[in-house]
Homo-oligomer: A and B are copies of this chain.
C-alpha cells in the first residue's frame, strides 16, 4: 500500500520559503510541493538590494538565485508567482489563493509552511502613490529608483529613516551621484541599538562621507499637481525639497495571514512557534522573518529579522513539514542576534538582545566603551569603537556593538561565540586574538573591551 503524495504549501518565496521548499523536497522526494509568492520573483538576495541600487551589482537578474522554472527543475517544486494566499483555514489546511489573473481558488494541503517575511511600516503622512516615492524592498523598487536616476532629474533625494536599510539606501544614492539627506527622528542614528557613543561615531562618519543627516521627523509629503512629491515636510515645519524620496522606514513581521487564520502571535506580533517551528495550528509550520525565535541568553522569545536564522529556520520548517513523523524532527534552538552593515568605509555590527530583554530576564546590564586601532598603528589604520555589555553580578557577556574601520564587523563573530557559550568578561580579556600588523593590533579592541569590563565590574583577571 502506498500512501498518497503529501501536499505541502509554502507561503512566501523570497528566502526562507525556498529554503523550506528545497528541504521539504529533499526530505520527501515524492511530496507534492507548491510555493506561492505574491511578487514576481522568488529566491533572490534581499541583502544585496542596496548594491543593485548603487550599481555595484549591475543587473537585477544577478540577484536572482533561481528563476521559478529552475527552482522547479531542481527541486520538483511547483512555483506560483504573482499569487497571493488570501486566507488560511487552519482546521482543514485549506488556502484561498488569488492567482496572477485575479482568479481565486481554494486549495487543500496536508502541511503548510508560512514564510511571509516582513511588511514595511509606513508612517501615516508618508503613504502615497507618487511615482517618485519608493520603498526599497523588492527588485522592482530598486529598478524603479534607478530608472528615476537615469534621466539625471534627481539632484537631491531624501531618505526617511536611518535604520540599516535607510543608511544603505543613502549610501547607494550617494554612490550614484545624488545629493542625499537622511532624515532620522530623535537625535541619534541607530541610537537605540548602538547607544550614544557609537551612534555619534556612526553619524559622524556618514556625514564625513557626504551624507547629510538631519535629526527631524518626517510628517508629510508635498505633492505637485502632476502627482510627484517635491518636498518632505518635517515636524519642525520645514519643507525639504527633493526630486525623490526613499522610505527606509521600519519593518514588522508580516503575520496578518497567520493572525487571521487564528494562529498565536508572539513578541512584536511575529508568528509564535516552538522549537520545531510548529505554529499553534496543527499542520502549519512557520519560518523566516515572520516568526519568533529563542534568545539563548535571556531564554526569551525575540523577533530577529535576519538572513541566517531565516534560512536556517526554513530548513527546519521544511524538514518537519515533510517528514510525516519519520526520523528525528529538526529543531531550531536559539539565535544570538547578530546584525552587520558596511557603508562607505564604516562597518557596524551588533550582537545580543536589547536592554529591555536583558533586564526582563533578570540581568543587570553594564556597558563599557572601548576604542582601538583596527591594525598596527604604524601602518595605515582606522579605529574600531566598541561597546560591550555584561551582567553586573556574574560578569557574563550579554552583547556588544562595533562601529569602525575594516575588520570591525568580523570581530563580532568572536563575541557572538562568547555570548552563545556563556563566557564572561574574563574570558574576553584572556582571549588569544589573532595578531599580525596588517590585520589587527596586538591589543585588539575585543580584549581592550574585556579589560574595561573587568574594571567596571571590579573583577580582575589573573594578570591584574
User: Cβ of B437 and Cβ of A416 under 8 Å apart?
Assistant: no
Binds B, one of A82-90, A246-254, A334-342: A334-342
| Chain A 393-436 interface mask (CB, 8 Å, partner B; 1/0) | 00000000000000101111110111011010001001111111
User: Cβ of A437 and Cβ of B335 under 8 Å apart?
Assistant: no
User: Cβ of B410 and Cβ of A431 under 8 Å apart?
Assistant: no
A33 to B308, CA, bound (A): 55
User: Cβ of A56 and Cβ of B416 under 8 Å apart?
Assistant: no
- What residues on B are CB-neighbors of A435 within 8 Å? 47, 306-308, 338, 340
- What residues on B are CB-neighbors of A413 within 8 Å? 410-411, 413-414, 431, 433-434, 444, 446
In the complex, whether A463 has a CB less than 8 A from a CB of chain B is yes
In the complex, whether A359 has a CB less than 8 A from a CB of chain B is no
Question: Contacts A331-B463, A410-B440: A340 and B434 contacting too (C-beta < 8 A)?
Answer: yes
Question: Contacts A337-B432, A432-B336, A462-B333: A378 and B410 contacting too (C-beta < 8 A)?
Answer: no
- What residues on B are CB-neighbors of A335 within 8 Å? 432
| Chain A 305-335 interface mask (CB, 8 Å, partner B; 1/0) | 0111101100110010000000010111111
Question: Contacts A335-B432, A432-B308, A442-B307: A417 and B411 contacting too (C-beta < 8 A)?
Answer: no
- What residues on B are CB-neighbors of A349 within 8 Å? 434
A337–chain B nearest beta-carbon distance, Å: 7
Given contacts A308-B442, A411-B413, A416-B434, 8 further A-B contacts (CB under 8 A): A51-B378, A308-B435, A340-B440, A410-B440, A413-B444, A414-B416, A416-B431, A417-B423
- A contact set with B: CB distance below 8 Å: 45, 47-48, 51, 56-57, 62-63, 275, 306-309, 311-312, 315-316, 319, 328, 330-342, 347, 349, 376, 378-379, 407, 409-414, 416-418, 420-421, 423, 427, 430-440, 442-444, 446, 460, 462-464
